[in-house]
Amino acid sequence: MRSLLAQARAKDPTTEITRLEAATYEPHQLDTLVSPSLFGEPRLVYVPALEQMTDALLSDLIAYVSAADPEVSVILRHNGGQRGKRLLDAIKASPYPTIQCEAIKSAKDKSSLVVADVRRAGRSIAPEAVGALVDALGSDLRELCSAVDQLLADTQGTISVDHVRTYYAGRIEATGFTVAGAAAAGNTP
């Protein structure tokens, strides 16, 4: 999502970006956000958590899909579930691009995400550092991505395990299974 928003700003720094909350949407808010502006600035409307949308938003978006303004970018994020299926089907049938992202669940997927984010920034990260970062912050993807951003901003060259330890020492997450496994193996304090 960050990448799409950054691309919009890079294309035109005057792009007006508006976040629209699906769960609290009032009828016709979208009409106001996508109507032509006085100075013709490009606009982007971002709607996260589309699966929580009100009936009014569902109705307004279905109408908008059939007559969208090509000068306005609308990014919709649906986190799964059946709510809004009719809208999603209408978007898939339209000429507009869609991106389907698979859920990131395993440690391997999280490690791949970290490596991809670092490479996208033109940097590298040591494999041990990837493992330490996922161990420290892997249960929260937003926090994991924020940690990568912080490490990229605050360090130079290859991100090492020492960098990760400096910023995230003592943050290794333990699940119930990890604790039970350690106890069964006799690794108790």
Contacts 24+ apart (CB under 8 A), 27-32: 27/56, 27/59, 27/60, 28/56, 28/60, 29/57, 29/60, 30/57, 30/60, 30/61, 30/64, 31/60
Query: Per-residue pLDDT tens for 148-187?
Result: 999 999 999 999 999 999 998 766 544 444 445 556 667 6
| Per-residue DSSP letter, 99 | -
Q: Which two tokens stand for residue 154?
A: 């605050």
Q: Give this prediction's pTM.
A: 0.67
Nearest to 136, CA basis, from 172, 160, 110: 172
Structural domains of the chain ordered from first start: 2-93 (3.40.50.300), 107-177 (1.10.8.60)
Phi/psi of residue 165, nearest 5 degrees: -65, -40
The predicted-structure confidence for 94-150, as pLDDT tens digits, reads as follows 998 888 888 888 999 999 999 999 999 999 999 999 999 999 898 888 899 999 999
